[in-house]
Amino acid sequence: MQADLAEAIGSCSQTIGRIERGERNPSLEIAIRLAHYLKVPVEDIFQIED
């Protein structure tokens, strides 16, 4: 799944895994690509913590 998702958004599966584990924050471009691929608003995937 990570490899398929990564390929679809032009990233690598390691990056997707790090984002999922909270080890890395996605760039704005990756966040937008993920949201577009999943057909949801970016805010549904990523939220700013105060």
Q: Per-domain residue ranges for the chain?
A: 2-42
The answer to whether residue 11 scores a pLDDT higher than 80 is: yes
| Contact (CB, 8 A) for 35 and 27 | no
The answer to whether residue 10 scores a pLDDT higher than 90 is: yes
According to the model, what pLDDT value does residue 13 have?
A: 95
| Contact (CB, 8 A) for 45 and 34 | yes
Using one digit for the tens of pLDDT, what is the confidence trace for 14-47? Answer: 999 999 999 999 999 999 999 999 999 999 998 8
* Model confidence, pTM: 0.82
The answer to whether residue 50 scores a pLDDT higher than 90 is: no
